Amino acid sequence: MKNINKNISDVLISVAIPDYSVIDENINDIAKIATDLEREYKFWEILIIEEKRENNNSSNILRDIQNVRVIQVKKYTEFYIKRTIAAMEAIGDIVVLTSFNEIHDIDFVKLINKVSETDNLTVAKRKKRYQFDIILGFIGGITGYQVSLKNMLTAAYPRSILNQLLSQISSHVALRFPPTYLGSLEEIIVPTGNKRSLGGHMRRIALIQDLLFSVAPKLLTYVGTLCIIVTFCTILYSIYAIAVWALFENIQPGWLTLSLVLSLGLGFTSTSLFALSAGMKRLIDIASPEFSNYIVNESISTDMYGKIRDNFNVEK
């Protein structure tokens, strides 16, 4: 008998795998996840992101397993772009982002139920401690993210929090390292013996680089504030120079001229820097990468929308 979890019986669950290779040998892995979801939940989907290649074989998995969506993206699309696309395309009220290398270690039912109980972002963590965690944590504190090498790629997001993260400029960074404004997160400890691949290390280095670049808006704000202070100081100095020249007689020739030139030059420079930093800050604020441009095709094994409509008796 099917054991539907009563607490989230009407909640749609999405499990997204952005780095899965759809080949016959891997279909059993998806079937195992589908069986667990089918046993516990009423509405669910498995979302797979794959690069479009000539030897793609999505038809078998779409034929054999229900509630599977396969989204094809351009060849050589970066992993974290695919991960962000998975988060954008998932339709669930609770969305799990995972990785092919981690699906064998994760208890998805336990993870999803944890999110349902707490309504908070839940991250899968390794037991192992890492020496560079303190350094990366310090960098994360400066940039406004909770950074830890113990965090796995698998995390479960309530829809409200996921929408917040996707609205950020560096959404791919926010999905990997939760922003500090979210406060304390829920976690599940996962015993795993999987070693990171070379590709995984390279992805992490690139992501840390993006993490450092993400401090740019905050840095530009500081630069703009400093420029305003400097401009105000140059005005005060100009007033001081004129007052000294007017009140005192023994002033070296050319001192007033030199003081005013220095003040005007510094004031012009600081004002220009303020205008540039404000303009760049504004451009960053309105810029938004079009991740949807990477999508080239989508296939689905079940009419999820029709299934939900029928269960809730929604008229067309």
Transcribe 95-163 into DSSP letters. Answer: EEE--GGGTTT--HHHHHHHHHHH-S-EEEEES---TTHHHHHHHHHHHTB---TTEEEEEEEEHHHHH
In a domain, residue 2? The reply is: no
Do both 233 and 106 map to the same domain? no
In a domain, residue 80? The reply is: yes
In a domain, residue 278? The reply is: yes
Q: How far apart are CA 17 and CA 95, in angstroms?
A: 11
Residue 87 to residues 46, 105, 109: CA-CA distances in angstroms?
12, 21, 19
pLDDT over 70 (residue 67): yes
Do both 158 and 142 map to the same domain? yes
pLDDT over 70 (residue 195): no
Segment 198-209, tens digit of pLDDT: 455 666 666 666
Do both 206 and 238 map to the same domain? no
Do both 42 and 105 map to the same domain? yes
Domains held by the chain: number: 2
In a domain, residue 192? The reply is: yes
Mean pLDDT taken over the chain: 80
Query: Which residues in 182-208 are b (16+ Cβ under 10 Å) and which e?
Result: eeebbbbebebeeeeeeebeebeeebb
Do both 248 and 151 map to the same domain? no
Do both 250 and 195 map to the same domain? no
Do both 263 and 169 map to the same domain? no
Q: How far apart are CA 306 and CA 208, in angstroms?
A: 42
Can you tell me the mean pLDDT for 178-193?
83
Question: pLDDT-derived band of residue 24, with 50, 70 and 90 as boundaries?
Answer: low
Can you tell me the mean pLDDT for 256-282?
84
Do both 130 and 232 map to the same domain? no
Q: How far apart are CA 89 and CA 126, in angstroms?
A: 28
Q: How far apart are CA 295 and CA 75, in angstroms?
A: 10
Do both 53 and 102 map to the same domain? yes
Do both 60 and 185 map to the same domain? yes
In a domain, residue 184? The reply is: yes
Give the range of the structural domain holding residue 254, as residue numbers without chain letter: 217-286
Do both 120 and 224 map to the same domain? no
Do both 93 and 142 map to the same domain? yes
Question: pLDDT-derived band of residue 1, with 50, 70 and 90 as boundaries?
Answer: very low
CATH for 105: 3.90.550.10
pLDDT over 90 (residue 197): no
> Would you state the pLDDT for residue 64?
81
